[in-house]
A and B are shown apart, each in its own frame.
Chain A
Amino acid sequence: AQSVTQLGSHVSVSEGALVLLRCNYSSSVPPYLFWYVQYPNQGLQLLLKYTSAATLVKGINDFEAEFKKSETSFHLTKPSAHMSDAAEYFCAVSLSGGYNKLIFGAGTRLAVHP
Chain B
Amino acid sequence: DAGVIQSPRHEVTEMGQEVTLRCKPISGHNSLFWYRQTMMRGLELLIYFNNNVPIDDSGMPEDRFSAKMPNASFSTLKIQPSEPRDSAVYFCASSPTTTANTEAFFGQGTRLTVV
Contact = CB atoms under 8 A, between A and B. Distances in A.
Interface of A: 32, 34, 36, 41-46, 49, 51-52, 90, 94-102, 104-107
Interface of B: 4, 31, 33, 42-45, 48, 50, 55-56, 91, 93, 95, 97-109
Contact of A102 (B50, B56, B104): B104
A76 B107 CA distance: 23
Given A100-B101, A107-B42, 6 more contacts: A34-B103, A46-B103, A94-B101, A99-B31, A99-B55, A101-B45
B42 A96 contact: no
A96 B100 contact: yes
Contacts of B44: 104
Closest 10 interchain pairs by CB? A43-B106, A51-B101, A104-B43, A44-B106, A94-B100, A99-B98, A32-B101, A43-B108, A46-B103, A100-B102
A49 B101 contact: yes
B42 A104 contact: yes
Contact of A100 (B31, B43, B106, B107): B31
A43 B42 contact: no
